[in-house]
């Protein structure tokens, strides 16, 4: 029963995008399971549907009147979304073809969870048919499509998915139990749950060993020896697919190891519980006392609508400061040249080559000059943008080139300007056309339009 409940949860989770409410998914899948258990029963009375709706929406506290109204609303929604259809019999319903297909799709994935050793039989069958069909390319192609892709690959995917489901469920389950159980009870519970999953993984791992026989058979068959091109292509596709599933199995092993790792530190987790409870109080105090400075409308210019709010946390939440980088002035030679008068410095100065120092100083001055010119042009650009709604950057660039006669300033400056303006939410659009100065025909620039922020 517990497993059935979990399957419903997984179904609702997996197909949440398809349904208005996750509860609707559970209702439909419950009806599907009823039909699966009793194939003759595919028509359901209004009372049955009502009971499922009541159960999954968990609204026992509501009055009969309220429940009735909500029931009709929900039933109407399931009907209008074509998940349910009205049967010929009065007040009866059946799953639509669409719902059936959706449930079937899921059921095929979840079914192996109940029967994990199925793959062993499938591998044996497929291996047997491979041995018969691996001498002729036409027969091998048929085997590849029907037996490998049609049977084994699906089975491998189902089994690895099933194991993933199980591990995910176990993690959620353990997190939930961790809240309420004491150390002894919880450690026992973890051991039991882990044993179940580990046993299933061992079975699956053992079954996967059979895949080696398929790879061996493929390597030893006549088609392989004759280096048939089509065969070799299919063989490599097949081996790639097998390695995907082997990899998935390995990952599940890693996940189990990590759960074990957490379980090994169980004492620390339990020991820290009082702190985590305090943290919880802290978190809710932060939530309750956070305010929104302003709620602006929306950033429509982003084309994706979302609300923007300035959150102000309560005073007791101090701001977190993290070092970001080193300011530019500490990266320039000036800083190191005036680095104080340590013993090193004196010795170093003594042996420094005078020419190299002069050269370094010249380069430093040159760098500073270029940086100043770039800042000057950025200011100039800002002024122009203040006056206009839109600016063609190519014209600005050519003007800058013309005055500076320095390609480095123009290129580094452009990079700096565009980056800065982008950060300030200016819209920058590059077109397919370009401009150039006839005096410098080798230096062209795309026509870039800069628009003010919306």
Residues forming the site for another protein (CB under 8 A): 170-172, 174-175, 178-179, 255, 258-259, 261-262, 265, 268-269, 272, 275-276, 278-292, 295, 298, 304-327, 330, 342-344, 346-347
Q: Are 420 and 378 in contact (CB under 8 A)?
A: yes
In the complex, least distance from residue 43 CB atom to another protein, rounded to whole angstroms: 33
CA dist 35 and 32 (Å) reads 5
In the complex, least distance from residue 419 CB atom to another protein, rounded to whole angstroms: 17
In the complex, least distance from residue 326 CB atom to another protein, rounded to whole angstroms: 6
Closer by beta carbon to another protein, 34 or else 246: 246
In the complex, least distance from residue 319 CB atom to another protein, rounded to whole angstroms: 5
For 330, residues 6+ apart whose C-beta sits below 8 A from its C-beta are none
Alpha helices for 144-182 (secondary structure H) = 154-180
- Cα 420 to its chain centre, rounded Å, is 30
Distance from the first to the final alpha carbon of the chain: 57
Closer by beta carbon to another protein, 18 or else 376: 18
In the complex, least distance from residue 273 CB atom to another protein, rounded to whole angstroms: 9
- Cα 397 to its chain centre, rounded Å, is 41
CA dist 218 and 228 (Å) reads 12
Closer by beta carbon to another protein, 20 or else 453: 20
Closer by beta carbon to another protein, 90 or else 356: 356
Dihedral, 368, 370, 371, 377 alpha carbons, nearest 10:
150
Dihedral, 420, 421, 423, 425 alpha carbons, nearest 10:
170
Closer by beta carbon to another protein, 164 or else 406: 164
In what side-by-side order are the strands of the sheet with 43-45?
Answer: 43-45, 92-95, 84-86
CA angle 359, 364, 369 (to 5 degrees): 125
In the complex, least distance from residue 240 CB atom to another protein, rounded to whole angstroms: 18
Closer by beta carbon to another protein, 338 or else 438: 338
In the complex, least distance from residue 7 CB atom to another protein, rounded to whole angstroms: 19
State residue 77 phi and psi, 5-degree precision.
-65, -40
CA dist 16 and 28 (Å) reads 12
In the complex, least distance from residue 280 CB atom to another protein, rounded to whole angstroms: 6
Both tokens of 303, joined, read 């084309």
> Alpha-carbon Rg of the chain, whole angstroms?
35
């Amino acid at each position: 029963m517990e497993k059935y409940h979990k399957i419903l949860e997984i179904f609702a989770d997996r197909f949440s995008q398809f349904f208005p409410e996750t509860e609707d998914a559970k209702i439909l899948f419950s009806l599907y399971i009823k039909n699966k258990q009793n194939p003759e029963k595919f028509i359901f009375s209004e009372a049955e549907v009502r009971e499922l709706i009541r159960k999954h929406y968990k609204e026992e506290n509501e009055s009969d009147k309220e429940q009735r109204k909500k029931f009709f609303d929900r039933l109407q929604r399931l009907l209008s979304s074509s998940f349910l259809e009205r049967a010929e019999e009065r007040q009866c319903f059946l799953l639509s073809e669409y719902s059936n297909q959706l449930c079937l799709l899921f059921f095929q994935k979840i079914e192996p969870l109940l029967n994990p050793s199925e793959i062993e039989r499938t591998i044996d069958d497929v291996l047997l048919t491979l041995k018969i069909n691996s001498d002729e390319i036409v027969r091998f192609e048929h085997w590849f499509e029907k037996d490998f892709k049609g049977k084994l690959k699906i089975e491998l995917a189902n089994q690895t998915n099933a194991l993933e489901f199980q591990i995910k469920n176990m993690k959620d389950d353990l997190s939930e139990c961790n809240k309420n159980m004491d150390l002894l009870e919880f450690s026992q519970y973890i051991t039991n749950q882990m044993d179940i999953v580990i046993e299933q993984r061992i079975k699956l791992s053992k079954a996967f060993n059979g895949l080696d026989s398929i790879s061996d058979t493929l390597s030893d068959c006549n088609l392989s020896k004759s280096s048939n091109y089509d065969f070799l292509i299919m063989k490599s596709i097949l081996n790639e697919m097998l390695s995907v599933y082997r990899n998935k199995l390995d990952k599940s092993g890693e996940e189990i190891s990590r759960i074990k790792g957490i379980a090994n530190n169980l004492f620390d987790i339990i020991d820290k519980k009082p702190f985590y409870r305090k943290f919880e109080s802290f978190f809710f105090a932060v939530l309750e006392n956070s305010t929104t400075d302003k709620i602006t409308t929306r950033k429509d210019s982003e084309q994706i609508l979302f609300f923007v709010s300035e959150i102000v946390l309560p005073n007791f939440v101090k701001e977190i400061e993290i070092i970001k980088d080193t300011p530019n002035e500490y990266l320039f030679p000036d800083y190191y040249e005036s680095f104080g008068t340590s013993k090193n410095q004196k010795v170093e100065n003594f042996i420094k080559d005078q020419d190299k120092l002069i050269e370094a100083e010249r380069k430093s001055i040159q760098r500073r000059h270029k940086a100043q010119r770039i800042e000057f042009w950025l200011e100039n650009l800002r002024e122009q943008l203040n006056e206009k709604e839109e600016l063609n950057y190519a014209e600005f660039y050519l003007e800058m080139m013309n005055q500076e006669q320095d390609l480095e300033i123009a290129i580094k400056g452009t990079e700096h300007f565009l980056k800065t303006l982008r950060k300030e939410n200016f819209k920058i659009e590059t077109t397919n056309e370009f401009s150039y100065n006839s005096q410098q025909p080798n230096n062209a620039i795309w026509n870039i339009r800069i628009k003010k922020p919306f």
